[in-house]
Chains A and B, each alone.
Chain A
Amino acid sequence: MNADGKTNHDMTNSDIALLLADAADEVEIGIAPYDAVVRGGRRRRARRWAVTAATALALAASSATLAVAGLPGEGGGRVAPVATQPPTAEERHVYAPQQTLLATGSDGGRAWFVRIEVWGVPRDEVEAQRQLDAMAESGVRPVDVRQASELVGKISYFVFRSVGDKFAPVMQNTVSRTDTLSGTDIQAGALPLVPGSDGPQRLVIGKVAKTAQRVTCRWKGGGMTEIHRVPAGSDVNSDEQVIRPVDGSPYNWFVCLAPEGAAYKSVEVTK
């Protein structure tokens, strides 16, 4: 075998390649959507600049706070030293996530709900490895994370959708503890209500800034749904969709379900 390991199994490799080529032929190639790629690329570029600006702002804000707190002779007597212990990893929800029910309802006789789990911030690699193990035990894994150390200083969230007897994760991310959304920022996705179905994209799940008061979902073919922010800990009422604070999350979250026969067109923060 050579350094790249390509010699001893040439026949074998080509057999595998043939099988894969046969399977790959099943895809419909179509015409390259050049214009759509360029439009998407421009949107990404604009978004990247916006994110960079927001991150710079957040860092600037936290640096200012640290600088003030660290000034010698300042505030000596104004803030009494706190004798309590720092919160443990358990108290910070590092090994067991905080769960929040985002929405629930009934559609066509089937009960559905959307739930989010937020795992707290590990402070070091030891905590991060234990968190990764705990995640594996509960059946989830952050997709972008290749080693435990990448979890340090970050929260991880998983959003699950359940319809009837089907239960599946639909969104996941690991983000810095300082991540934030502001103003009319919104990140959302639309998908069919029933897992694995080809039905219309009726279920919209997203996150907005803590300050966002109203989100408007517009549906293909006309019509829209407006949802409003409720305080933390508010009751989750069946078939009532709202913007809701989530334990452990730096953003507020919402779920919006299109009426039967409608499908997602757009979503934005409108107040």
Chain B
Amino acid sequence: MGDRKQARDREFQSFVTGRWPRLMRTAFLLTGEQHAAEDLVQSTLEQVYVAWRRVGSADDPEAYVRRVMINAHARKHRRRLKEFLAPKDDSGLVREVADTGDRISQAEDRSALLTALAQLPPRQREAVVLRYWEDLTETQTAEAMGCSVGAVKSNAAKGSRSCAPYRGWPEW
């Protein structure tokens, strides 16, 4: 019994260490902010720890982790993100971000891309990051987001269209 638990702990440690860099990059694209990304990954892995007995022996623990991260992102970071990324000279009224197309079209550098990404509605941002950074299929993305393939197609298309004016971002 004790040996099995120790083996599970070792597996989990190895999983955390191995997946940390990739999860951090994904979380950074989702949140647009270093500390928010660290919080998101740590919170995700804490939830994975609780379920590790089941998750570790599953066929695809990565899929579970992605699902947890997307849920945690939707729950905890969607609103805070807008606050973090609100321009300093803005009125601060960030209850909802309206049309950000103009700001996105003016994006010129890497941080502007992150800002443009972050100002997409959360579901569009999640779809773009999962499809094109995580390189998931539409089916896998739908599983991670807990929605239909049609919703993924729609969100990814809208998200990429909104970002299209960014520095050669291809439009299709």
Q: Quick check: is B129 within 8 A (CB to CB) of the other chain? A: yes
**Complex interface: chain A residues within 8 A of B20 (CB):** 29, 31-32
B114 at the A/B interface (Cβ < 8 Å)?
Answer: yes
- A64 CB–B CB distance under 8 Å: no
Residues of chain A with a CB closer than 8 A to B131's CB:
13
Q: What 1/0 mask marks residues of chain B from 106 to 145 whose CB sits below 8 Å from any chain A CB?
A: 0000110110010000100000110111010111000000
Expressed in whole angstroms, the Cα–Cα distance for A139 and B97 within the complex equals 9
Known A-B contacts A27-B25, A172-B79; A167 and B92 likewise in contact (beta carbons under 8 Å) = yes
Please classify how large the interface on chain B is, using the bins under 10, 10 to 19, 20 to 34, 35 or more.
35 or more
Report A22-34 CB contacts with B as 1/0, cut-off 8 Å. Answer: 1111111111111
**In the complex, B105 has a CB within 8 A of chain A:** no
CA–CA, A30 and B21, complex, Å: 8
Chain A: interface residue count, which band?
A: 35 or more
Binding site for B on A (CB under 8 A): 3-6, 9, 11-13, 15-17, 19-34, 36-38, 40-45, 48, 138-141, 143-144, 146, 160, 163-170, 172, 195-196
Q: What are 13 A-B contacts defined by CB distance under 8 Å?
A: A4-B137, A16-B170, A23-B113, A24-B29, A26-B114, A34-B13, A34-B17, A37-B16, A40-B42, A40-B46, A146-B146, A165-B92, A170-B79
Please give the residue numbers on chain B whose beta carbons come within 8 Å of chain A beta carbons, in ascending order: 12-13, 16-17, 20-21, 24-29, 34, 37-38, 42-43, 45-50, 74-75, 78-80, 82-84, 86, 88, 91-96, 110-111, 113-114, 117, 122, 128-129, 131-133, 135, 137-139, 146-147, 153, 160, 166-170, 172
